Chain A
């Protein structure tokens, strides 16, 4: 659990964060969005225990970043938007160096380097110097370095900037894999469409203030989410049949389309679908309604989508 309470941060000429408070649940991906200068990078640096806030506290699984920053560093991986690499080292040396710098046991150094390089698709380039790599590959090496010690929390500041569509897709898949492995991820980005693909939550920051913090349709936990059911023909008793199922609420029928709220994970969804088919509902389509991140963000900013 990540707990941010009344966080304030001041630069010499301006206040970057004002009483920022929120909670992040484990194994979620939070999209940190907001216009330029909203305080996203400052918030991430404070969460990474790299900068001291003027007031307030951040606790990572009970560890206070203010009181015990070094212990917090062991729990997290951070990639800033202006990250750098040791250009004269090969990828293998860079990853090996990072594993040693995190005091990984000697016997697990090589297996960990191999695993992470495989995850990031770097295995076939291990002897290449990082200074010779493209922007996309450098980004992958940097993410590999950030997750080398298997942190519980991964903070990424604009990780997709400068990446081509293919590399972005790979990044998206990687983040989903890491999240499924139990890692909590916070990603700041301007590319909302891409964030919508993998984010489970959205945190909107504007002028240093949290404007909204909400769950999105991608939530893989047991939170309630909106579902849609399309029937092959109109069936008036569908509403009653749906409401009788466990975890279903707020059923709304419009012709052959039904919308309802469902509490449960993907296994529960599978069970619900089987039960509805067994009950004789002529189901043509069964899907979760993904919130459109851009619509939500623009709605929050008071602009038409």
Chain B
């Protein structure tokens, strides 16, 4: 049986007028484009069809996908969705592909035109280009929806409800499109290669295959986020698998990292892989700590499950950023093991800084009467990592790890982290323990 949400969107989006209007409009655009060039410049028109596909499915599609969530908030219908029996996957399919069905319909016409025009130029259509175009559209649409879902629809401030696409989303879409466009000329060159784990791979093939993986992860991310919002039981395992994937994927580009460090020390290739994976996991943990629900209720639920020794439930309720510390720690151990010359203290410092900052974030969230803890935390980050080190440049070592004496530096940050934990514990006991 078709998903209820998909059916609802099809009822709303599909009409005979629209189905007829879209190809007519596209035909007009192609006619306008062809009149600007030689009538038989099929190669130009074939490229234009692909660009049109990207514009329709990525820009318009992203707007529609995002609106499918904001409209629930605006119409105050989100509770119906939460109380229904629809699974997160059903809801994701219904919202993502249902709300964007017209964009995909227009996109399909563009792809058909692209294929037809490519054949007219006596060339074979490139499967890589097709994969890349479709996967990019899915990534952008799903990413846009995921960003909108980062604030639950019922907690979205009224002034945000009417905006289908925030400035942040638009910025991200432009960056993604620009990077695809920037890659375009390189991708078009069949000799361009990329180095991944030391192997030279044709750039277009690599990007096309990667984009399929990333599209799958974007869809999976939407399902996971909807699971949380619909209160379906989930564990941190899928997130950890994603973290491991990111660590593996980005570690493949470790030569870039090696070039940045430009170290004269004899560090093995394996050490570089481990360090890159470690940094990727750290960044993901910090991102999640910023984005996750840090309310006393969720923390208390986790503690209660732990206290009752209900470990499967405790695992479900474990804050995802804390679970991410597992791969972070494993990567750190491997990095220390593999690196003989770089100080283990220096490698451990970012982890301690992450712990300190996350605990401070909790302190801000657990302040009774708090209004904007995330804003306060952003100001804190700005102060600690930018403003104060700049103003107190002679005392820079108070804010950044020392390369000369990393052990002492780590000890200092460790003390700060312990103090932050003690303060956080005091705040919990004062306001929320009973």
Contact = CB atoms under 8 A, between A and B. Distances in A.
| A and B form one complex | yes
Given A49-B231, A54-B297, A102-B84, A84 B12 contact: no
Contacts of B11: 89, 93, 97
B167 interface: no
A103 B87 CA distance: 10
A48 B78 CA distance: 14
27 contacts: A10-B296, A48-B83, A49-B231, A50-B79, A50-B82, A50-B83, A52-B297, A52-B298, A52-B301, A70-B230, A70-B232, A73-B82, A78-B83, A84-B75, A84-B80, A86-B77, A89-B8, A97-B8, A98-B84, A100-B4, A101-B4, A101-B5, A101-B81, A101-B86, A102-B85, A103-B86, A106-B1
A73 B76 contact: no
Interface in B209-245: 230-233
Given A70-B233, A84-B75, A88-B12, 16 more contacts: A10-B297, A12-B371, A13-B368, A50-B83, A67-B313, A73-B82, A73-B84, A87-B75, A93-B8, A97-B4, A97-B11, A98-B84, A100-B1, A101-B5, A101-B86, A102-B85
A83 B76 CA distance: 6
Contact of B77 (A55, A84, A102): A84
A80 interface: yes
B368 A97 contact: no
Nearest to B81: A101
Interface in B185-228: none
B16 to A, nearest CB: 16
A66 B298 CA distance: 11
Interface in B341-381: 368-371
Given A52-B301, A55-B300, A88-B12, A73 B79 contact: no
Given A12-B370, A101-B5, A145 B80 contact: yes
A80 B301 CA distance: 26
Interface string A138-170: 000000010001000000000000000000000
B271 to A, nearest CB: 44
Contacts of A86: 8, 12, 75, 77
Interface residues of A, number: 38
A48 B8 CA distance: 24
B80 A74 contact: no
B7 A100 contact: yes
A70 B231 contact: yes
Interface in A1-22: 10, 12-13
A69 B231 contact: yes
B76 A97 contact: no
A85 interface: yes
A50 B75 CA distance: 18
B70 to A, nearest CB: 13
Interface in B263-314: 296-298, 300-301, 313
Interface in A58-106: 66-67, 69-70, 73-74, 76-78, 80, 82-89, 93, 97-98, 100-103, 106
B56 to A, nearest CB: 22
A103 B85 CA distance: 6
Contacts of A69: 231
B399 to A, nearest CB: 31
B68 to A, nearest CB: 12
Contacts of A97: 4, 7-8, 11
A106 B138 CA distance: 31
A86 B84 CA distance: 15
Interface of A: 10, 12-13, 48-50, 52-55, 66-67, 69-70, 73-74, 76-78, 80, 82-89, 93, 97-98, 100-103, 106, 145, 149
B368 to A, nearest CB: 7
Given A54-B297, A67-B313, A85 B77 contact: yes
B257 to A, nearest CB: 42
Contacts of B4: 97-98, 100-101
A10 B369 CA distance: 11
A177 B8 CA distance: 30
Contact of A73 (B83, B300, B301): B83
A259 B75 CA distance: 53
Nearest to B5: A101
Contacts of B313: 67
Contacts of A77: 83
A12 B368 contact: yes
- CB-based closest 5 A-B pairs: A84-B76, A100-B4, A101-B84, A101-B4, A69-B231
A18 to B, nearest CB: 12
A87 B76 CA distance: 11
Nearest to B227: A70
Interface string B47-88: 000000000000000000000000000011101111111100
A80 B77 CA distance: 10
Nearest to B71: A86
Contacts of B300: 54-55
A129 B432 CA distance: 48
B82 A101 contact: no
Nearest to A52: B297
Nearest to B2: A100
A49 B79 CA distance: 11
Contact of A80 (B79, B86, B432): B79
A149 B85 CA distance: 10
A74 B230 CA distance: 13
A86 to B, nearest CB: 6
Nearest to A55: B300
B259 to A, nearest CB: 47
Contacts of A82: 76
Nearest to A83: B76
A46 B313 CA distance: 20
A69 B85 CA distance: 11
A102 B12 CA distance: 20
Contact of B80 (A67, A93, A98): A98
A66 B76 CA distance: 23
A50 B229 CA distance: 10
Contacts of A89: 8, 11-12
